[in-house]
């Protein structure tokens, strides 16, 4: 009996001691969370476990966190399901100080969970936004001007054995493009060719909304790598159904509520990264495949999807949408409360003029598809995309866009669609691309040496004896493609300070007026956009009122006049 009492006492002591240890460890863990330091514009993630049982947690359960920021303001951010009973919260803090959050959910294991962290100073710049005071241009969240210089990587998050496309190939591609100055890549989250990745397919069934978390976890890995290399990710949740055979098109969800649920999931899962969102790729495609639904009704659906994405994104990332080629523009969405761009074009014609057409609308103007260098999608040995048949045409097209105050997302036939629009595999190292990779970088390097956001189009201040020509037809062996005009001349100016003229096809004298009240310039430099070489063509003499110059040949040239 004495022995039993001693054993009972020992057992009680051990249980009491274990409980004390658990309490202390819990308190210590909470203390660690309370003291966790997170970089400003960095990345905070925490996980919780649901205790209920759900047939489809992605569809059947919701959870959100009310976030109290250091300035006392509150925002609501959704948690997202990440497999089994795991739910995650991701935050990228933009204010220094203490952040707190409280989870709300019908699930008892999630509801009432709390946490906090401290946002500390860092050198991170954050994602992008319209530049305050210069609405047609970009800035990082910390206010640093951002020269948006993009490349197309539609299949960045997928794998395909036949194209030798996998995580390692994607990493190499990102490394190469980062070294070439690329700072934006836009990509499909649901790839129109139907590819998955090493985690499997994105959904077991879109109709039943059975999401596969492993697919999205692989996207997490690649997106984090992209951001770590200094590149902003443009994310397209899904594509329009342009052929009635798109394997992952928006239309395949069972209804509008399912589409909005998916949009909220994307906002919750990826809003804390350095990203912007593109509600749909080629949204007009739905008009083709849903003939009994009006274009107005389809547009209204996409506005609602965009609303769900925007309202679920506590990080207030930029949001746009992407058109079909025939329409070329998405200005019709400028009244949507989420539209952050003046335009996000897919346009191959009248490139300069189409940028100018969108300038009355607020937000940066991007031509996101104007050429894919040397694309041969039918593998017949001949380029089949407008503006894409030579480095010269790509260069002319690029300068025509930026000289209107627009931004570009270029592309290469060997990489833009993961390799499946080119005869060989996915290949960023194809030596055919070298020339355009170099020349695309020349335009970026030149602009980055200026306060480019202060330059405004002033084409009426530059004159030449011959009018500007129109887009030209270029005859290849079996087809005719569209190319930029042979003769043109454009001017960007910060009046009285900087004048940038781009001209090509000129055989005589061009005249640049300096505008009302200008005091003249004393520096004139000539840039060769093919090589990047510059030289002075004015020896310090002050030029007043206007500048006259004759090009050495009919190639394209850039003049930079300044004081």
Among 404, 426, 448, the domain boundary falls at 448
Is 221 part of any domain?
Answer: yes
> pLDDT per residue over 401-418, tens digit each?
999 999 999 999 999 999
Which structural domain range is residue 271 located in? 143-448
**pLDDT score at 517:** 78
Is 453 part of any domain?
Answer: no
| 7, pLDDT greater than 80 | no
Is 135 part of any domain?
Answer: no
Instruction: Record the pTM.
Output: 0.93
How many angstroms separate the CA atoms of 157 and 199, rounded?
11
Is 131 part of any domain?
Answer: no
pLDDT band at 457 (very low <50, low <70, confident <90, very high): very high
**pLDDT score at 502:** 98
- The token pair that represents 359 in the structure block: 């300038």
Among 391, 422, 448, the domain boundary falls at 448
Asked whether residue 471 falls in the same domain as residue 413, the answer is no
Asked whether residue 440 falls in the same domain as residue 476, the answer is no
Asked whether residue 413 falls in the same domain as residue 514, the answer is no
**pLDDT score at 541:** 78
Q: In terms of Cα–Cα distance, which of 356, 400, 426 is closest to 172?
A: 426
Asked whether residue 505 falls in the same domain as residue 420, the answer is no
Asked whether residue 47 falls in the same domain as residue 177, the answer is no
Asked whether residue 112 falls in the same domain as residue 166, the answer is no
Contact between 450 and 411 under an 8 Å Cβ cutoff? The reply is no
State the chain's mean pLDDT as an integer.
Answer: 93
- C-alpha distances in angstroms, 16 versus 20, 21, 25, 27, 28? 6, 9, 14, 16, 18
Asked whether residue 172 falls in the same domain as residue 294, the answer is yes
Strands in 534-536's sheet, in edge-to-edge order, are 456-457, 488-494, 498-504, 557-562, 523-527, 534-536
Asked whether residue 79 falls in the same domain as residue 157, the answer is no
- Going by their DSSP bridges, the two strands 557-562 and 44-49 should be labelled as unpaired
Torsion of CA 38, 229, 186, 331, to 10 degrees: 70
**pLDDT score at 26:** 42
Burial pattern 357-379, b for ≥16 Cβ within 10 A else e, equals: bbbebebbbbbbbbbbbbbbeee
How many angstroms separate the CA atoms of 82 and 102, rounded?
19
For the residues 431-454, what does the mean pLDDT come to?
Answer: 98
The number of CA neighbours under 13 Å toward the Cβ of 368 is 30
CATH number, domain containing residue 260: 3.20.20.80
Is 490 part of any domain?
Answer: yes
| Helix spans in 290-345 (H) | 295-312
CATH number, domain containing residue 111: 2.60.40.10
pLDDT band at 466 (very low <50, low <70, confident <90, very high): very high
Asked whether residue 350 falls in the same domain as residue 274, the answer is yes
| 478, pLDDT greater than 70 | yes
Q: How many domains does the chain have?
A: 4
Asked whether residue 493 falls in the same domain as residue 424, the answer is no
Is 507 part of any domain?
Answer: yes
Asked whether residue 514 falls in the same domain as residue 391, the answer is no
Asked whether residue 120 falls in the same domain as residue 171, the answer is no
**pLDDT score at 539:** 65
Is 132 part of any domain?
Answer: no
Is 134 part of any domain?
Answer: no
For the residues 124-138, what does the mean pLDDT come to?
Answer: 98
10 Å Cβ neighbour count for 493? 24
10 Å Cβ neighbour count for 284? 22
């Amino acid at each position: 009996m004495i022995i039993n009492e001693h054993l009972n006492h020992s057992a009680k002591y051990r249980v009491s001691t274990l409980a004390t240890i658990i309490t202390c460890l819990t308190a210590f863990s909470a203390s660690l969370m309370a003291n966790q330091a997170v970089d400003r514009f960095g990345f905070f993630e925490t996980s919780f476990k649901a205790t209920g049982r759900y047939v489809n947690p992605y569809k059947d359960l919701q959870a959100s966190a009310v976030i109290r920021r250091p300035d006392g303001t509150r925002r609501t951010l959704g948690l997202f399901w990440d497999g089994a009973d795991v739910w995650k919260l991701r935050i990228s803090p933009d204010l220094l100080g203490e952040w707190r959050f409280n989870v709300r959910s019908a699930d008892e294991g999630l509801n009432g969970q709390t946490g906090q962290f401290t946002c500390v100073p860092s050198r991170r710049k954050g994602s992008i936004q319209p530049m305050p005071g210069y609405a047609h241009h970009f800035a990082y969240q910390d206010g640093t001007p951002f020269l948006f210089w993009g490349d197309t990587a539609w299949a960045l998050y997928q794998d395909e054995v036949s194209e030798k496309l996998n995580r390692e190939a994607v990493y190499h591609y990102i490394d190469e493009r980062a070294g070439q100055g690329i700072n934006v890549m836009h990509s499909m989250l649901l790839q129109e060719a139907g590819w998955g990745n090493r985690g499997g397919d994105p959904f077991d069934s879109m109709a039943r909304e059975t999401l596969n978390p492993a697919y999205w976890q692989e996207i997490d890995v690649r997106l984090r790598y992209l951001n770590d290399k200094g590149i902003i990710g443009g994310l397209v949740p899904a594509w329009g159904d342009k052929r009635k055979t798109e394997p992952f098109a928006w239309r395949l969800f069972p209804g509008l509520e399912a589409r909005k649920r998916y949009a909220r999931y994307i906002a919750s899962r990826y809003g804390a990264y350095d990203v912007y969102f593109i509600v749909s790729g080629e949204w007009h495609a739905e008009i083709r495949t849903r003939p009994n639904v009006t274009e107005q009704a389809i547009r209204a659906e996409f506005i609602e999807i965009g609303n769900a994405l925007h309202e679920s994104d506590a990080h207030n990332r930029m949001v746009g949408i992407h058109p079909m080629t025939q329409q070329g523009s998405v200005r019709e969405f400028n009244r949507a409360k989420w539209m952050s761009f003046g335009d996000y074009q897919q346009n191959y014609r009248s490139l300069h003029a189409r940028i100018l057409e969108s300038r009355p609308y607020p937000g940066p103007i991007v031509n996101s598809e104007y050429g894919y260098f040397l694309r041969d999608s039918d593998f017949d040995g001949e380029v089949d995309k407008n503006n894409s048949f030579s480095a010269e045409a790509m260069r002319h097209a690029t300068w025509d866009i930026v000289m209107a105050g627009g931004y570009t997302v270029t592309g290469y036939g060997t990489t833009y669609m993961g390799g499946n629009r080119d005869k060989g595999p996915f290949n960023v190292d194809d030596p055919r691309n070298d020339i355009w990779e170099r020349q695309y970088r020349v335009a970026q390097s030149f602009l980055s040496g200026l306060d480019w956001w202060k330059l405004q189009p002033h084409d009426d201040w530059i004159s030449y004896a011959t009018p500007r020509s129109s887009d030209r037809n270029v005859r290849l062996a079996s087809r005719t493609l569209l190319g930029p005009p042979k003769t043109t001349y454009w001017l960007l100016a910060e009046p009285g300070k900087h004048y940038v003229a781009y001209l090509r096809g000129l055989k005589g004298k061009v005249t640049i007026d300096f505008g009302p009240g200008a005091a003249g310039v004393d520096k004139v430099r000539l840039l060769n956009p093919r090589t990047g070489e510059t030289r002075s063509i004015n020896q310090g003499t002050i030029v007043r009122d206007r500048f006259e110059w004759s090009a050495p040949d009919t190639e394209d040239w850039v003049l930079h006049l300044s004081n």
